[in-house]
Amino acid sequence: MNNDVFPNKFKAALAAKQVQIGCWSALSNPISTEVLGLAGFDWLVLDGEHAPNDISTFIPQLMA
């Protein structure tokens, strides 16, 4: 499915066989998440299983 309004740059880069660099975050601080979001990574995973995260820490991180 092609979406011209909101193109998925990540999927396009994968289709073009471009390397995607990301970060797996086990931090529960939204300030850290915002720094990682501004660091230029192509993707970011917020670990909800192996990190001290729960719904009350995830919401501020997703907002960051």
Q: What is the domain extent for residue 50? A: 18-63
Decide if 10 is inside a domain. Answer: no
Per-residue pLDDT tens digits for 26-53: 998 999 999 999 999 999 999 988 888 8
Question: So what's the pLDDT on residue 2?
Answer: 64
- List active site positions: 50
Decide if 58 is inside a domain. Answer: yes
Question: So what's the pLDDT on residue 64?
Answer: 85
Question: So what's the pLDDT on residue 53?
Answer: 85
Check pLDDT > 90 for residue 5: no
Is the Cα torsion angle 19, 20, 26, 31 positive or negative in sign? positive
Decide if 44 is inside a domain. Answer: yes
- The pTM of this model reads 0.74
Nearest 5°: the CA angle 28, 33, 35 is: 140
Decide if 4 is inside a domain. Answer: no
Number of structural domains, the chain? 1
